[in-house]
A and B are shown apart, each in its own frame.
Chain A
Amino acid sequence: MASAPSNRASTSSSSLSSLRQRPWVRWAAPLLLVVVLAVLPLVMSEFVNETLARIGVFAVAVLGLNVVMGYAGQVSLGQIFFLGVGAYVTAYGVTNEWNIVLVFVLACLVPAVAGLVVALAAARLGGLAIAMVTIALPIVGVPLAKRLSEYTGGSQGLSARFAEAPEGSGLFDDQWQLYIVLVIGGTVFLLTRFLVRGKYGRAFAIVKGNENVASSMGISPYRYKVLAFTIASLIGGVSGFLYMVVIQYTSPETMSFGHSIELLAAMVIGGAASIVGSLLGGAFYVLVPQLTNQVDASLTTLLQGVILLVVLFVLPGGLASLPRALTRGRRRSGAERGAAASTTSPSSTLGSGTSAEEPETERQGHA
């Protein structure tokens, strides 16, 4: 799992940053995290492990969405579709007793190919059209899944129990499953972190910011949008595989329009373009329904809508940006430092959430 929460140089106080520079600290923190994560499943209860595993599944799904939407700036309503495809591929492969490694590879590749095809067509249209087209994926996906019943089990769905703890390991199923999620999910998170911090991440950010600027720099917006979308679909497929590991059942309902929107909301609330935000998003996705089910199940959607709107108004960078927002508040009332303070860091908001100090106009001309 990723360690350092913020990828920008907007450090808090100088003492903390110098502490971070020290070499042994840079190794100690991740190492400590790994140890904690290794021990955690062994000590926690079955319920906690299962919940954490679910959170892991959807954190990966949200991470995928973040790649295309948070980092590359393309609104996609189709991420849940790729999770569904990954889950179905996994279920089908396991039911037919294929090699598990092959199943995993297919669960990654099939959604990726599907995503590639969709992106090749949709990315040509320009920004918002991707949103409008990806909305079709869950909407068409559900009846398609019902229709192709020989592969998908139709409306009944498919179950596949395959992630049972191996004999002799001394582990319970829930612990084993959590380990699988931690290992695979953690790897995906690490790889993605490298991706977005490298030249691809920078290219994504430029395309997100201004496509004309990107093309003038020789960065083809079309190419990078397709790339981002394909990667997102691939990650979505991985999350689908993990979904089957943990939940062991998939049906057309898995990729419904409602879930698609919940996933998007989870991403925004957790924090767009943020690794930690994806984790928080996964937690939001899993925990809110668990909570509202205790009180009144019909409240779930309402609560999600309210939280999403509140976040968009008050904290556009999502929960992951909370520490930054708080330190900014404290710094404003403290001494004035350099220009690093005011504007929100571009990598962590979905567009310009806070309005800059422009002249107070009724409305800027749009046409």
Chain B
Amino acid sequence: MTLLELEDVTASYGPVQVLDGVSLSVPEEGAVGILGANGAGKTTTLRAISGTVRAGGRITFDGKDIRGLRPDQVAALGIAHVPEGRGTLGDLSVRDNLRVGAYLRKDRKGVDEDIEYCLDLFPNLRERITSNASALSGGEQQMLAVGRAIMSKPRLMLLDEASLGLAPSTAKNVYDAIRRLRVESGIAMVVVEQNANLAFTLVDSATVLETGRNALTGTSAELRGMDEIRRAYLGG
């Protein structure tokens, strides 16, 4: 069962064409990685999915065409975008950030339970529950951003460069938690990562983008084995 399907998606910022025909397929409860160098169009692909950028081509979620929807409408369908830079609401407390994530939900008890779950998943946040989000470290902010996404009970999560700016051990912790999340909740994921090693610990398959197009696609095992990947992204 395909949850998310991208067919020949294009996107541009003004006169600059960033996506030139990207295709992607995410099965129910699956996790797909998007790899590639800077400027290849990885972030733009996620933005096209969440409606932040106007895109051409076909984007279907659960069979429904979601192109042209506003970001908040896309979120309402069950797609949670954790953006590059995390988008934490700095002047709000950790708890309030999580509550914002649950904005669309009406089940108070369920929301409280899920806040508990997030704090269990990310113990660092529990200690800082009343602090303003801007006082958190980079790693904690990343955890908070993921937590906020979890709160909306999404079916699909878009993770943009979750390891960016984090120390290797912190990044590993974050990915461990996300892996646990995936196992326990069955949320499907699209993971944009420059750190391919880290990405392969999470995703089942991946596509490599080059100047806005798919250059290589395959399962994690296949890609890991390829020389090009090893040389370009895995350090030989």
Contacts and interface: CB of A to CB of B under 8 A. Distances in A.
In their complex, do chains A and B touch, with some C-beta pair under 8 Å?
yes
Interface of A: 356-362, 367
16 contacts: A356-B14, A357-B14, A358-B13, A358-B14, A359-B11, A359-B13, A359-B47, A359-B52, A360-B53, A360-B54, A361-B53, A361-B71, A362-B70, A362-B71, A367-B90, A367-B91
Interface string B49-84: 000111000000000000000111000000000000
Given A362-B71, A362-B72, A367-B90, A357 B52 contact: no
Contacts of A357: 13-15
Contacts of A361: 52-53, 71
Nearest to B53: A359
A356 B14 CA distance: 8
Given A359-B52, A367-B90, 5 more contacts: A359-B13, A360-B53, A360-B54, A361-B52, A362-B70
Contacts of B14: 356-358
Nearest to A357: B14
Contacts of B70: 362
Contacts of B13: 357-359
B112 to A, nearest CB: 28
A205 B5 CA distance: 48
A3 B53 CA distance: 45
A340 to B, nearest CB: 14
Interface of B: 11, 13-15, 47, 52-54, 70-72, 90-91
Contacts of B52: 359, 361-362
B55 to A, nearest CB: 9
Contacts of A358: 13-14
Nearest to B73: A362
A359 B54 contact: yes
A360 B68 CA distance: 9
Nearest to B44: A359
A359 B56 CA distance: 12
A360 B71 CA distance: 10
Most buried by B among A356, A358, A359, A367: A359
A355 to B, nearest CB: 11
A359 B13 CA distance: 6
A362 B68 CA distance: 12
A356 B15 CA distance: 11
B41 to A, nearest CB: 13
A190 to B, nearest CB: 39
Contacts of B54: 359-360
A356 B16 CA distance: 13
Nearest to B85: A365
- 9 residue pairs, one from A and one from B, having the closest CB atoms: A359-B53, A357-B14, A360-B54, A362-B70, A359-B13, A361-B52, A362-B71, A359-B54, A356-B14
Contacts of A359: 11, 13, 47, 52-54
A362 B75 CA distance: 13
B24 to A, nearest CB: 19
A367 B87 CA distance: 11
A358 B53 CA distance: 9
Contacts of A362: 52, 70-72
A65 B157 CA distance: 53
Nearest to A363: B71
Contacts of A367: 90-91
A19 to B, nearest CB: 32
B135 to A, nearest CB: 16
A359 B70 CA distance: 12
A323 B11 CA distance: 34
A362 B53 CA distance: 9
A367 B54 CA distance: 23
A357 B16 CA distance: 10
A357 B91 CA distance: 31
A134 B70 CA distance: 41
A358 B47 CA distance: 13
B173 to A, nearest CB: 27
A357 B15 CA distance: 8
Nearest to B11: A359
Nearest to B71: A362
A361 B54 CA distance: 8
Nearest to A359: B53
A361 B90 CA distance: 21
A146 to B, nearest CB: 46
Nearest to A365: B87
A152 to B, nearest CB: 50
A356 to B, nearest CB: 7
Contacts of A360: 53-54
Nearest to B72: A362
Contacts of B53: 359-361
